[in-house]
Amino acid sequence: MFMLRKFIKNRPTSRFGLTNQRDLNVAIIGQSTFAAEVYKLLIKNGHRVVGVFTILDKGNRQDPLAAIASENSTPVFKIKSWRKGEQALPEIVAQYKQVDAELNVLPFCSQFIPMEVIEHPKHKSICYHPSILPKHRGVSAINWTLINGDKEAGFSIFWADDGLDTGPILSQKSCPVLPDDTVDSVYNRFLYPEGIKSMAEAVDMVANGTAPVIPQSTEGVSFEPSVRKKSLQKIDWNKNGKDIHNFIRGLDSSPGAWTIIDNTEVKLYKSAIWSNDTPTGDLITVDTLQNPAVVHDNGLLITCNDGLKLNINRLSVDGKMMAASMYGKADTIQETIEFTAEEKALIPIVETIWKNILNMGIENNTHFFQSGAGSMDVVRLIEEIKDKLKLTIKNDDVFMSPIFSDFCNTLIKRSRGTSDEKKHVEYDPVVIEVNNMKLQFAKQLFINGQFIDSESGNTVECINPADESVICSIQCASEVDVNQAVNAASKAFEGEWTEMSPRDRGAIMYKIADLLDKHREELATIESIDSGAVYTLALKTHIGMSIDVWKYFAGWADKIHGQTVPISHARPNRNLTFTKKEPIGVCGIITPWNYPLMMLSWKMAACLAAGNTVVLKPTEMSPLTALKFAELSVEAGFPSGVINILPGLGTVTGRAIAEHPDIRKVGFTGSTATGHMIMKASSESNLKKVSLELGGKSPLIIFDDCDLEKSVRMSMGGVFFNKGENCIAAGRVFVESSIHDKFVDKVVEEVKKIKIGNPLERDTHHGPQNHKTHLEKLLNYCQKANNEGAELKIGGKRVDRPGYYFEPTVYTGVEDHMFIAQEESFGPIMAISKFSGSNLDAVIKRANSTEYGLSSGIFTKDISKALRFAEKIDAGTVFINTYNKTDVAAPFGGFKKSGFGKDLGEEALNEYLKTKCITVEY
């Protein structure tokens, strides 16, 4: 080789004195879209590609070169490695030699190719390199061209030899570097299109015997290391502004230049020199920079130490790409737009482009980069969109909209000449049409302001109880996910949420109330299909009361205060003692399936008003409104980490919350048995504070001096409200003997009028039970009642139709020892017992005979009876001549095995506060 170089010197001639020849047998060694385009052009120019040697598949995705070659029936060899150590693998070399190539073409190759292969063909090997050799030898040539501030960029096609980018030059081309060029812009504008064309021209020159062989100059030689080394990607803020600008754009879009912001590693992209006045915005500290940076409407403005200003357009935080203008703000998802018929016809074309690039089926939630795409694929996507749709898009359009449905949205907006300014939290949506509306909600965990998949990958199906169909599968949080959420909540509590003024926190809570109101019909529909709630009831109670709760506690946020306490003075000095009400910290909340959004709101609103952050586990049976709430919380402006929503199983997610040492309070609504386990786990972990709203067997006592029509109506509501899935349901109705039969007849008559059916129909009174296991429990409950001698008057069985429908049921003759008199059904089962009106204390004693003490009620016109009952009954709530009358301002909670602690009202705040006493001597 050395003698050959001396002989040819600088003479531009054919390397081996070839005669005119066409139709070369070419082996292409390499990868990427670039290599695939070279392949296509060589075929078009009449050459034969006798073999393609490329890299192994990545998962189920083969390299674009392999894909295009396979389509044309060209032999494809996917090579893991050509060498072992310094020795070529004989079996690989033998495989290569079988194709009998006359020329090797290396358009883009990341593997080390043995010299036995390089030198084997008749015309040897030619290679593409993206710099003007001998400058910037090495694998990161384009990056270093920009980092070094070169005024000129370009590429070389050279004859491969045993050095690293040292072989003789066949051809070179160059272009100017513009002030704000990035790797992508130089590549897209020049290196990609001109490089492909020049590689094909080089093969033609080899075939024609006119290919120059020009030894590389010894002047200007440089070799730089790969920028894949992380230490080489960190920004040195001590350099001048121009060098910093060159460094950032030299690593754009891969691998990205990084620095430290708010103790977090952040990558910076799209740097531009800023010559305008400094805009207003939020100030942040960037690593060792002397001046704070400004987050403003058009990016992140950085003032370098020499005074030069750089504007950063895009950031990557924790691996998630975002507009720099959104740093420190809530992320948002794209606003969905309605496509015209012509626009809809473009979507299959876009889908085909994605399918060809990713080599996989495309769904609305397919993520371009998570499916294996790289920066070269971005180029291909842009080029194919331009070619097939005659539409020019930018790299940013791909990076900021990597999910297929979002990308189509962006594409259509671009075609209309509009952009997507409104942002929302990004997630993989479930989209269904029901109740004459389009529903969209998440199915992932919500941690630190983002929807993410569970670490375990476990899922559970959400079943529509009205027809037993699967709505979707949702992610189930593992112990690792709980820990991640607690860490996010801890960071938020120690930072932005606590630093925010109580009034500002209240303003955000008012905003979430407004958003719940704005999405009222959508939320009620989700609640209906997910929990079986009758739509009209969901509108009024499930969603309506949720809105009221958020407004109520938003008003409390800036009214929480301590007291001054008079104490004895330490004479001759004096003392001042006062108390402070302080938030507890990270709180865990576990909610039930009967009122999914309302129970979330009852607990979380008080928790956040008190200044805490929260990790909430909604029931796995009905989690969908909680996930929709998580989405709306971002739009409301809650900082990342303040609210974390983790669907999952009680035995995994719930247990991890109860046992976590950094959670200081657990609020739970559910069964008494589960409450026992939470108490035990909380005490054994870190003695965390606990409030429990548990089971009930609430007595309702009806005297003969009542308003009978009202009593019947109210008692039916007390039992059948929300299908009986109501914690304060009147679990046992005591009716004075003198009116017992008349009362029962009227109840049975009214029960017959109850319309059972689709909960979305506006005239439905009674929907399906929440889930199959609960329906089976009710059937067993009735069987026990029958076996013990209670008299079934109506109902007691499953409705003969698809769905988990159970007939409203009435039993009489219920005696105190029976199972039906002692245990909660949590369903539409009225258990009626007689009592003698002459002995009030006796019936109160019977009412108090269970271990539950959540709610109670009495109907009588005798105020003395009513107040005596209220005094003696052992229940947290007492209703007189009404029932089920709850209000956001009235404290709610039980005694005995019904739990302790309060939801709603001012008292609920105390569940999420701790009192600190401070004494000053003066």
Q: What is the pLDDT of residues 289-336, one digit of tens each?
A: 999 999 987 789 999 999 999 999 888 888 777 888 888 876 544 556
Q: Which residues are catalytic?
A: 129, 693, 727
Q: Is 95 annotated as a binding residue?
A: no
Most confident of 156-160, 288-292, 365-369: 156-160
Q: Is 578 annotated as a binding residue?
A: no
Q: Is 508 annotated as a binding residue?
A: no
User: Strand 913-921's sheet: what is its strand order?
Assistant: 564-565, 575-583, 913-921
Backbone torsion region of residue 502, taken as left when φ is above 0, otherwise alpha when ψ lies between -120 and 50, otherwise beta: alpha
Residue 204 tokens, joined: 């033609």
Q: Which distant-in-sequence residues (6+ apart) come within 8 Å of 834 by Cβ?
A: 734, 735, 736, 737, 740
Q: Is 754 annotated as a binding residue?
A: no
Q: Is 640 annotated as a binding residue?
A: no
Task: For residue range 801-850, list pLDDT tens digits in order.
Answer: 999 999 999 999 999 999 999 999 999 999 999 999 999 999 999 999 99
Q: Which distant-in-sequence residues (6+ apart) come within 8 Å of 815 by Cβ?
A: 789, 790, 821, 833
Rounded alpha-carbon distances, angstroms, from residue 200 to 12, 36, 42, 128: 19, 12, 6, 11
Please give the share of the chain, as a percent, with pLDDT higher than 70.
95
Q: Is 44 annotated as a binding residue?
A: no
pTM for this one?
0.59
CB 124 within 8 A of CB 160: yes
pLDDT value at position 6? 26
pLDDT value at position 240? 95
pLDDT value at position 399? 78
The DSSP 8-state label assigned to residue 334 in this structure reads P
Q: Assign 8 a pLDDT band (cuts: 50, 70, 90).
A: very low
CA dihedral 397, 388, 157, 47 (to 10 degrees): 160
Task: For residue range 695-751, list pLDDT tens digits in order.
Answer: 999 999 999 999 999 999 999 999 999 999 999 999 999 999 999 999 999 999 999
Whole-number average pLDDT of the chain: 91
Q: Which distant-in-sequence residues (6+ apart) come within 8 Å of 855 by Cβ?
A: 696, 698, 727, 728, 875, 876, 877, 878, 879, 894
Helix H segments across 294-374?
341-344, 347-358
pLDDT value at position 89? 93
Residue 851 tokens, joined: 């271990």
pLDDT value at position 421? 40
Q: Assign 500 a pLDDT band (cuts: 50, 70, 90).
A: confident
pLDDT value at position 12? 37
pLDDT value at position 325? 87
Backbone angles phi, psi at 342, to 5 degrees: -65, -40
Query: By C-alpha distance, which of 238, 258, 260 is closest to 248?
Result: 258
pLDDT > 60? residue 21: no
pLDDT > 50? residue 670: yes
The DSSP 8-state label assigned to residue 660 in this structure reads -
> Which residue type sits at 438?
K
Backbone angles phi, psi at 305, to 5 degrees: -65, -20
Helix H segments across 391-538?
395-400, 404-416, 479-494, 496-499, 502-518, 520-531, 535-537
Arithmetic mean of pLDDT, 547-558: 97
pLDDT > 50? residue 245: yes
CB atoms within 10 A of CB 357: 23
* Distance, CA of 525 to CA of 354 (rounded, Å): 34
Q: Is 769 annotated as a binding residue?
A: no
Most confident of 340-349, 376-385, 890-899: 890-899
Range with lowest mean pLDDT among 148-157, 339-348, 365-374, 622-631: 365-374
Q: Which distant-in-sequence residues (6+ apart) come within 8 Å of 151 by Cβ?
A: 176, 177
pLDDT value at position 342? 86
pLDDT value at position 179? 82
Q: Is 113 annotated as a binding residue?
A: yes
The DSSP 8-state label assigned to residue 116 in this structure reads H
pLDDT value at position 447? 96
Arithmetic mean of pLDDT, 223-238: 92
* Distance, CA of 897 to CA of 615 (rounded, Å): 25
Backbone angles phi, psi at 881, to 5 degrees: 55, 30
The DSSP 8-state label assigned to residue 836 in this structure reads -
pLDDT value at position 3? 26
Query: By C-alpha distance, which of 132, 93, 133 is closest to 115?
Result: 93
Please give the share of the chain, as a percent, with pLDDT higher than 90.
76
Q: Cα–Cα–Cα angle for 520, 525, 527, nearest 5°?
A: 95
Q: Which H/E stretch holds residue 778?
A: helix 772-787
Q: Is 826 annotated as a binding residue?
A: yes
Q: Is 824 annotated as a binding residue?
A: yes
Q: Assign 19 a pLDDT band (cuts: 50, 70, 90).
A: very low
